[in-house]
Amino acid sequence: MGYSIKTDAKTKKTALIFAYAFVLNWIWESLHSYLYFSPSGRPITELVILRATLFDAVFITLLGILLLNVGYLRERKWYAIIFGIVTAVLIEKYALETGRWAYNSFMPIIPVLGIGLTPTIQLGLLSFIIFKLVDPKRKT
């Protein structure tokens, strides 16, 4: 006897957001990991990349639940860019100040903020792209 699990459209969209977020962030993290070094001298390993990817995917999924289910925000997916960039700035500032990571000489730095360009745009840009992929019929 087989079991059938019914899932609604919102659950499917949420799962799709997580899947896209995980894959796209893993690619991004893997590519820009070469712009970092660990102040402790430990290498940036696949485990470090995987942990960062999982955090990013969970963040984007939670943001997606908010943006795709709240009427006002559903029509303004571009808010994901703002929420993502603000979150990234806070994360980068904290991580740099506490010595969690540092940039090597190849990281492009945003002068006023003193943080890396690629991590600053990552959450906002990927969130927006993912929400457009998952919910293309809605306005941005």
Q: Are 44 and 86 in contact (CB under 8 A)?
A: no
In a domain, 1, yes or no: no
Q: Are 68 and 74 in contact (CB under 8 A)?
A: yes
pLDDT at 118: 96
pLDDT at 135: 83
| CA 116 to chain CA centroid, nearest Å | 15
Task: Show the tokens assigned to 77.
Answer: 């997916």
pLDDT at 53: 97
Q: Are 88 and 127 in contact (CB under 8 A)?
A: no
In a domain, 4, yes or no: no
Q: Where are the alpha helices (DSSP H) in 1-140?
A: 9-32, 46-69, 71-74, 79-97, 117-134
Cα separations (Å) of 55 from 6, 29, 41, 124? Answer: 28, 11, 23, 14
In a domain, 139, yes or no: no
What range defines the domain where residue 24 resides? Answer: 10-134
Task: Show the tokens assigned to 126.
Answer: 């990927």
Which pLDDT tens digits describe the chain residue by residue (140 residues)?
A: 555 555 688 889 999 999 999 999 999 999 988 888 877 767 778 888 999 999 999 999 999 999 888 888 888 889 999 999 999 999 999 999 998 888 989 999 999 999 999 999 999 999 999 999 998 776 55
pLDDT at 2: 57
Structurally, the chain folds into a number of domains equal to: 1
Torsion angle defined by CA atoms of residues 8, 140, 110 and 83, in that order, rounded to the nearest 10 degrees: -50
In a domain, 49, yes or no: yes
Q: Are 63 and 90 in contact (CB under 8 A)?
A: no
In a domain, 54, yes or no: yes
pLDDT at 140: 55
In a domain, 56, yes or no: yes
This prediction's pTM: 0.87
In a domain, 126, yes or no: yes
pLDDT at 73: 82
